[in-house]
Amino acid sequence: MQKVGIFRSIHVKFVLIYVMLIIIAMEIIGLYFARELEQTLKANFTTSIVDRMNLVEFSVREEMTKERTADDPTLETSLWAVLSGFTSEDKDINEIRVIDSKKKIRATSVLDNQQMVGRLTRDDIVKKSLTSEAEFDITFLEQKSRNRIWGRAKPIIVGEEVIGTLYVESNIEKVFKQIDEINHILAGGTAVSLTITIIIGIFIAQTMTRPISDMRRQAQTMAKGNFSRKVRVYGNDELGQLAIAFNHLTNQLQESQSTTESERRKLASVLENMTDGVIATDRKGRVSLINDSALLMLRMTRDLVLNRPISSILGLEQEYTFEDLIQIKDSIALDFSTQEQPYILRVNFSVTQRETGFVNGLIVVLHDNTEQEKIDMERREFVSNVSHELRTPLTTMRSYLEALADGAWKNEEIAPSFLHVTQTETERMIRLVNDLLKLSRMDSRDYDLNKEWVEFNHFFNAIIDRFEFSKSQNVYFKRLLPSLDLFVEIDADKMTQVIDNIISNALKYSPDGGGIRFGVIMADNFIKVMISDDGMGIPKANVNRIFDRFYRADRARSRAMGGTGLGLAIAREMIMAHCGEIWAESEEGEGTTIFFTLPFEIQEDGEWD
């Protein structure tokens, strides 16, 4: 599971935001409280000082306006008595001075400062108070004690005349100390409350972020393909409803994945079991998917095909670009034939598009068209051969009949020969047509085998005897047949045709003095029959073609002997109908050997069905 950084966690972010909001709120409250407290305390302090100054000012004014006799004390003594009485009663007042209208200090409450009496004052607020007839105050820092002092000057007015000023210095430092103590208490309370707030915030954040963390873990689990886990629902609020919706989404995704996986398996199974090759490309024409059939057809491996251009894979890069292939509607033939083996593929292209018409890629379907091309070629060759085989006797017959029609029938020496040739060619066409009908019935499986149990050595010897008795060439027969009785279940008439065709061909191509050999070999479940001659043989490249229809090793000689070129083709069809095989082995100039097999089963205790 991917780890989240501590400052990237929503839990930590929530707590930090919560704490920051609390801190901001408490700072605002603290600042407001401190400012209001400071103003209140200072106002209370100054108000009390002003009230006492008013009392002092009244007493001083009385002393300064009083008419004095010789027995009365001096003004300075009277003023000092008034001032000292007030300073002794009030600890907040440090000093009280009385200054007359001429800016001379007439009295001070501090005994140590009595030398100042009679001197001019240097305090600016006193001078301002005398000149402007208004009250002034100032706060300053005392140099020795480093305490804050609040000074106030109040003019002494009698009627409309300013007779002096009363200047008071009070120690306001204790007010600021009270403010500092209260601020310290407030800071401590803030720290305690903030600690409690953080703890509560962590628990609150945990209750809110726990469902989100569960959903995050569930999403990561789902990304790995596991849909079994469910998100716990902690309540019915928005987060609880989100958890319910998330669980529902999980179920939907699980069903969708199951459906998609099922469809993917079906598609993969279809692609893998298709005989046609299928290739899919991306929108740039690179191969993204290919099935095994296509790999076999192209004779390539998967790692050599994937992510390569489709035009290069198909060998069309010189003729077509990917954009050209998209426009192609008809199929294209790919010829990979060699001199030894034909190989032709038919390619169809289909474009995959989105609903907007944007081309997503190309689907290419490959079909091995080699067999079809071979069938079409054989069909064309068959039609050509049939036409040629029929045209030759028909042309001969027409020539002789025209000659007879022109009067040759009157010539007793020529007419019988012409009629004999015409009759021979007619019989040849009849044989050709009959052979074609036989092949047609075999191709359509429109024939029945009348099988019966036959002792094959006796059956084979009888056919050989017939040919040996009627042969006209100087050819000897050699038999290599076992003495054991071999019973096989065959259609005797059709098997006779097979052996007749093979022996007839051997006789046609055997030279004078040559020989034909016959042999039978018994195996576990079949017998193998061999008929060999000493003829001219067949080129190695054409050995497998002698069973094709109308194929002749020596066309002129075969046609002269009345052959149709269908004998071995018929023999192959009949052997196959008996569930056997037939093939040839030959070497040019050394003769040819035809082999065929027939099913053979020996019964227990030597008994035959």
Same domain assignment for residues 130 and 69: yes
In a domain, residue 194? The reply is: no
Same domain assignment for residues 78 and 100: yes
In a domain, residue 193? The reply is: no
In a domain, residue 186? The reply is: no
| Mean predicted lDDT score pLDDT of the chain | 79
Query: What pLDDT, on the 0 to 100 scale, is given for residue 7?
Result: 53
Query: What pLDDT, on the 0 to 100 scale, is given for residue 432?
Result: 66
Q: How far apart are CA 426 and CA 238, in angstroms?
A: 102
- First vs last C-alpha separation in the chain: 77
Same domain assignment for residues 388 and 315: no
Tell me: pLDDT of 441 over 90. Answer: no
User: Mean pLDDT, to the nearest integer, of 309-315?
Assistant: 86
Residue 370 CB contacts under 8 Å (≥ 6 apart), including other chains = 342, 343, 344, 345
User: Mean pLDDT, to the nearest integer, of 480-489?
Assistant: 87
Same domain assignment for residues 127 and 32: yes
- Banded pLDDT at 343 (limits 50, 70, 90): confident
Tell me: pLDDT of 460 over 70. Answer: yes
Same domain assignment for residues 70 and 148: yes
Same domain assignment for residues 432 and 539: no
Which of 310, 341, 368 marks a domain boundary?
368
User: Mean pLDDT, to the nearest integer, of 481-505?
Assistant: 86
pLDDT tens-digit readout, 120-137:
888 888 888 888 888 888
Residue 331 CB contacts under 8 Å (≥ 6 apart), including other chains = 346, 347, 348
Tell me: pLDDT of 563 over 80. Answer: no
Query: What pLDDT, on the 0 to 100 scale, is given for residue 114?
Result: 82
Residue 139, beta-bridge partner list: 150
pTM: 0.41
Tell me, what CATH number does 324's domain have?
Answer: 3.30.450.20
Residue 592, beta-bridge partner list: 586
Same domain assignment for residues 344 and 392: no
pLDDT tens-digit readout, 266-311:
877 777 777 788 888 988 888 888 888 888 888 888 888 888 888 8
In a domain, residue 269? The reply is: no
Tell me, what CATH number does 468's domain have?
Answer: 3.30.565.10
Q: Which of 90-104, 522-536, 558-572 has the lowest mean pLDDT?
A: 558-572
Per-range mean pLDDT, top range of 22-31, 195-204, 216-225, 512-521: 512-521
Burial class (CB within 10 angstroms; exposed 0-12, middle 13-18, buried 19+) of 297: buried
Which of 115, 144, 178 marks a domain boundary?
178
In a domain, residue 184? The reply is: no
pLDDT tens-digit readout, 502-531:
888 888 888 888 889 999 998 878 899 999
Token pair 């075999």 is found at 442
Q: Which of 100-104, 106-110, 447-451, 560-564 has the lowest mean pLDDT?
A: 560-564
Query: What pLDDT, on the 0 to 100 scale, is given for residue 443?
Result: 60
In a domain, residue 221? The reply is: no
Same domain assignment for residues 434 and 473: no
- Banded pLDDT at 206 (limits 50, 70, 90): confident
Same domain assignment for residues 143 and 36: yes
Same domain assignment for residues 474 and 583: yes
User: Mean pLDDT, to the nearest integer, of 181-208?
Assistant: 81
In a domain, residue 335? The reply is: yes
pLDDT tens-digit readout, 87-98:
655 567 878 888
Query: What pLDDT, on the 0 to 100 scale, is given for residue 440?
Result: 64
Tokens for 305? 């095909």
- Banded pLDDT at 556 (limits 50, 70, 90): very low
Same domain assignment for residues 526 and 548: yes
Query: What pLDDT, on the 0 to 100 scale, is given for residue 561?
Result: 46
For the stretch 204-219, what's the b/e string if a residue is b when 16 or more beta carbons lie within 10 angstroms of its beta carbon? ebeeebebbebbbebe
Residue type, position 387, single letter:
S
In a domain, residue 238? The reply is: no
Query: What pLDDT, on the 0 to 100 scale, is given for residue 550?
Result: 61
Query: What pLDDT, on the 0 to 100 scale, is given for residue 402?
Result: 80
User: Mean pLDDT, to the nearest integer, of 563-582?
Assistant: 79
Instruction: Name the helix (H) or strand (E) containing 241.
Output: helix 238-273
Token pair 């065929």 is found at 596
Same domain assignment for residues 15 and 159: yes
Q: Which domain holds residue 601?
A: 452-606
- Banded pLDDT at 606 (limits 50, 70, 90): very low
Length of the chain: 609
Tell me, what CATH number does 415's domain have?
Answer: 1.10.287.130
Q: Which of 160-169, 219-228, 290-299 has the lowest mean pLDDT?
A: 219-228
Which of 368, 395, 425 marks a domain boundary?
368
Query: What pLDDT, on the 0 to 100 scale, is given for residue 381?
Result: 64
How many domains in the chain?
Answer: 4
Query: What pLDDT, on the 0 to 100 scale, is given for residue 4?
Result: 47
> Beta-carbon neighbour count of residue 538 at 10 Å?
22
